[in-house]
Each structure stands twice: as C-alpha cells, then as structure tokens.
C-alpha cells in the first residue's frame, strides 16, 4: 500500500492536485513506517535475522516521504484560506531542462531570489521567458505553484 500510494507522487507534474499529492505522500509514508515496525517477525518476505535490514530500508523511505509531505501539511491552512504568496517581476534566471529518458521537462525561474519550478511547463522558450514579466502564486513551504501568468 505504501508503494502504491507513492506512485502519484512520482506523477505529480501530470496530476497537479495539492490535496491528492499531500494525501498520497502521507499515506505512503505512514504505510511504509508502519510496515517496517509492525510486520510479523516470522514473515518469510524478509531475509536475515528478523529482516532488520529491510525494516530499516522501508522505515527510512517512509520517514523520508513523511518529511517531504510535511511541507504540504504546513501549507494546508494556506490552501484552505487561499492565502498564496505572490512573486512578481522579471526573472533573474530562467532554466529549462528538456525531457530525457528518465525525467520529464522542467522549467525553473528565479524571481526576487526565489527559485520555483513552473508546473505545468509554459509554452515559451527559455530565451523568450528571460525578458518577460511573471506573476506567480505559490505556497511558500511546499513551493507548490497554484497559478502563474507570463505577460
């Protein structure tokens, strides 16, 4: 269950739902940590003495996922009250990474010293975006982009 709940996090750029990603990260983290703690010691799926190495691996992955989803929980009140942080201005740095065999395309802008990944990726080239004015609404802790406009 922990691994299945982790799958939407991997596809987060396509899903783009704050609540869904927050819930799947939390469920995945708690499931993996719970599995590493409460699985029956005689279970044949673990090898070695009580499966200690596998327990540590599953527990470590679960804790890492919970740490990542923590930032979504910190921004949850901002999500409910629609209290977004806003950045406005011409970016000081624009970075575009085309899709490769392992990752999708990424587009990062730095406005007022804050570097944010724009999701979904805009339909402008890196050169076109460098001189344009951006208005970005986002959550400060998770850096979740709510909306952005390129003028």
| Residues 37 and 105 both lie in one domain | no
Mean pLDDT rounded to a whole number for the chain: 82
Q: What is the pLDDT of residue 80?
A: 92
Give 135's strand partners.
88, 149
Residue 115, token pair as written in the block: 């570097």
| Residues 29 and 66 both lie in one domain | yes
| Residues 139 and 70 both lie in one domain | no
pLDDT of 27 strictly over 70: yes
Rounded CA-CA distance 26/10 in Å is 14
Q: What is the DSSP letter of 51?
A: G
| Residues 38 and 75 both lie in one domain | yes
| Overall domain count for the chain | 2
What pLDDT band is residue 16 in, cutting at 50, 70 and 90?
A: confident
> What are the pLDDT digits (tens) for 93-151?
888 887 776 666 788 999 988 999 888 788 888 888 888 899 999 998 888 889 899 98
| Residues 64 and 121 both lie in one domain | no
Domain that holds residue 59: 2-81
Question: CA distances (Å), 151 to each of 89, 122, 132, 135, 139, in order?
Answer: 10, 12, 6, 8, 21
Last residue of a domain, one of 33, 55, 81: 81
Residue 30, token pair as written in the block: 């708690």
| Residues 11 and 76 both lie in one domain | yes
Highest mean pLDDT: which range of 4-13, 17-26, 57-66, 117-126 = 57-66
| Residues 24 and 65 both lie in one domain | yes
pTM (global) more than 0.85: no
């Amino acid at each position: 269950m922990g691994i299945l709940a982790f799958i939407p996090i991997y596809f987060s750029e396509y899903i783009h739902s704050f609540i869904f990603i927050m819930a799947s990260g939390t469920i995945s983290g708690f499931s993996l940590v719970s599995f590493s703690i409460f699985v029956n010691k005689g279970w044949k799926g673990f090898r070695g003495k009580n499966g200690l190495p596998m327990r540590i691996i599953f527990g470590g992955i679960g804790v890492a996922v919970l740490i990542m989803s923590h930032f979504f929980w910190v921004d949850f009140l901002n999500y409910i009250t629609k209290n977004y942080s806003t950045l406005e201005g011409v970016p000081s740095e624009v970075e575009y990474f085309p899709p490769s065999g392992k990752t999708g395309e990424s587009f990062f802008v730095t406005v007022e010293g804050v570097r944010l990944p724009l999701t979904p990726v805009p339909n402008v080239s890196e050169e076109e975006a460098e001189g344009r004015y951006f208005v970005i609404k986002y959550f400060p802790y998770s850096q979740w982009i709510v909306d952005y406009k390129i003028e």
